[in-house]
Structure 1
Amino acid sequence: MSDFELPLPGRANFEELTADYQLILSQKVLVEFLNSLAAKAVVLNDQRQLVWASQEFLQFLNAEKIDDLRGARFGEALHCVNSRTSSDGCGHSESCSVCGALRTVMLSRKQKKKLSGECRITIRNGEFVTSLDLEVTSTPWTLQQRPFLIVTVRDRSSEKRRKALERIFFHDVVNSAGGIQGALQLLSEFSDLNEARDLVDLSRRSSQDLVEEILAFRELKSAEAGQLTARPSAVLVQELLRQTIDRLQHHPIAQGKTIELVDQSGMSTLFTDKLLLERVLINMLKNALEATSLGGRVILKAVLETQEVVFSVHNEGEMPREVQLQIFQRSFSTKDPSRGLGTYSMKLLGEEILRGKVSFRSGPEGTDFLLRLPQAALRSA
């Protein structure tokens, strides 16, 4: 799966970390230089633990002093969500095998040369989960026969997000606007009212898609900034499911494919934000339809369990394991550069705003994306 071996467990003790810290402080020119960089800089020991960090790096993590971070590994310092999934910490979970930062550091140490790479990392800051796109550079360095790595980090998140949103936004908007333009052009050539009616319907659906794309990106941007709040109301699940399918039934992505509904919600009602929930379900369906060949089918299902409704969308394809490990990261996509953000968006809206749980499972029998939503998740909102 990865082109490097995951590191062996083991950490330096407090005395060793303190000795390394004092050793680096003795290199006053180096310390001053690293503190002058616009990039965030750290010095790691041979066990990938932070020994020293620049002021830029400390400010990036809202840390007051290096004592708050010394001994932590890179992902642990950043509060990577995967750093706690293994008892050995950062670098030892299955997800770490596709980590760009770990790959850069390990290969730099092994090859004994300066290397750079990109890292997509999902971090938890209190109750809020966010994704970062980092550019990581690692340079081996030996001081008094002790091996270190000087690692610099540049946060490219805003740049990456802007470019991704622009690509996807303009891709979808141009497609929708092009559909409207084409339909209106043909409409101007018809004199028969019955023939024109179908084109009017096509124009209406294309204009609706255009508005929906604009609203979707506005909501995503607001959610990332922590400015999106839910507007809960009573939602009849059965009605919501049918409306969601109707929204996509004539979408170009659904042409030549079947959307099957399995409603086992028992006429249940949710207290949630209907528009945002519909947005998550649409993203789940779009993701499944994009992975489905012509003639294939996608199943939208709702099941009532104890005090919660479980929505799921099934397609018959199986995701490669490497894709599964990165599926909810913001800038990761298995599609062309004009696509992406769908799974990231469903995770962000479904969990951070709607207070549900978004997950997936994939195997030889197919792939399912699931949203578990307590019936009264937003009752106290």
Structure 2
Amino acid sequence: MAGERAPAEAPRRAERPPLRKGAARRRRLRLRGGDGRGRPPRRRAARRRQDAGGDRARSHLPLPRAPRREPLPRGRGAGALPRGALPPAREVRDLGVTWKARAVAYLVLLHAALAALAVPLLLAHPAWLVAAEAAFAVSLVLGALLARRLAAPMQALRDGAELLRAGELSTRLARTGTPEIDPLVDLFNAMLSRLHEERVRQEEQQAFLAKVLEASPLGVVTLDLDGRVDSASPAAIPLLSSGGEDPRGRPLAEVPGPLAGALTTLGPGESRVVPHGGGRRVKVQRSQFLDRGFPRTFFLLVELTEELRLSEKAAYEKLIRMTSHEVNNSGAAVGSLLASLLAFAGRLPEADRPDFVEAIRVSRERTERLNAFMRSLAEVVKVPAPRLAPADPSGLARSVALLLGPLAERSGVSLRVEADPRLGPVPLDAALFEQALFNVVKNAVEAAGAGGRVTVRTSAEGRGAVEVVDTGPGIPKEVEPHLFTPFFTTKPEGQGVGLTFVREVLASHGFRFSLAGPPGGPTTFRVWF
């Protein structure tokens, strides 16, 4: 058939117009491929499979073109991949049989087959029986040794996989003596050494970070992906939880305390100074870090109470000193002039004398009040360092209640003391602490009003505590952040230095305190020794 088609094809080739120089060059490039190398010839066997016609006469329809081939990415390799999807990977069944067992089974079957073939020969020549048995035994032993030798590298790789699975990174694999496997063993041992070094480095860094967080006054709180507290440094636990309970494992919104509620309202990267009761102020900041590709939230808690207190104290000390100096000098001069004017009262007419004397008296009283006011301000500045000595807090509470008893009776307030007999002496400055407790109880009596109750209670829990509870209207939310601010007061005739004095005394003792009173009451002032 090829001989019959040749004459018909020749005229068609002759009828084709000659190709131009550029077209001929592009055709040669297509035949050679995009990388300049020759295109592999198409196999005729593939064409016969596509035809599937056998010895049948060819159809007049043209054969389908082969699928377009595309080069490998980035130009690597000369081969090409078909555009269609790759065929599915062939499933390999794992029979659970090691290569050593397979090799031994093969040797046993091979020798059994050879023995079966040698039976007719041994029957014809019985004298060869002993030699044949010895040859079979030697061959079988040598084959078993060879199988064991070949299976040793596989066993080494299996042992390495078990070490990785168990997390044992300090053990190393022994070389097998096989040139093909020993480089893999060396590479595996190097990988184990690197992993072991990385693990030791991470453990050391984690231990160092834990020590730093344990000793640092900076509080750090991290949340997991579900918004629960994952970890909290020792400095963060008393700030975050009001009762000092461990907040780990609990949602942040369910942690008791005012600071936890403030943290939930912070945005990423936002920082804020939050009042924390008892004049304490904490700076909180929210940030994020990546953990295995997922963003996690953490908070930084910094207590600024002492720093802000010292800064405020330095500011109002300077103001009080300057003001006190000017007022005292002016007051002394004014007082002297008023005394001189009072000496001239006898020279005035009888009708004008009473008004003149009354005016001088009022002026002198006002001057004395101004001097007393400046002395009260100076007391805040001149708070002496406490002289600690064992004192009975319950006895001090009874003394304060005795002093304020008449004021409570006039105001219609019930004042009582509940002393815990288990509370023993506490090292403190009795004079300073009694004055501070006097200011607190006096404020409670004035806040309770007619028909109210004020209770001074001592407790032996922990290292001891004293609390003053009144049934007044509570503390408005807008007033609470300014309670211990110098010169801030809600009383018409207040000076705003009472709670400032209390804060200075308790801070100098190192006592922790809080003042909380929800709207509607009751209001509780608590001091922890």
Q: Same fold (TM over 0.5)?
A: no
Greater percentage in helix: 2
Which has the larger Rg?
A: 2
More strand by share: 1
- Give the TM-score of the pair, scaled to structure 1: 0.43
Higher RCO (CA 8 Å, separation ≥ 6 residues)? 1
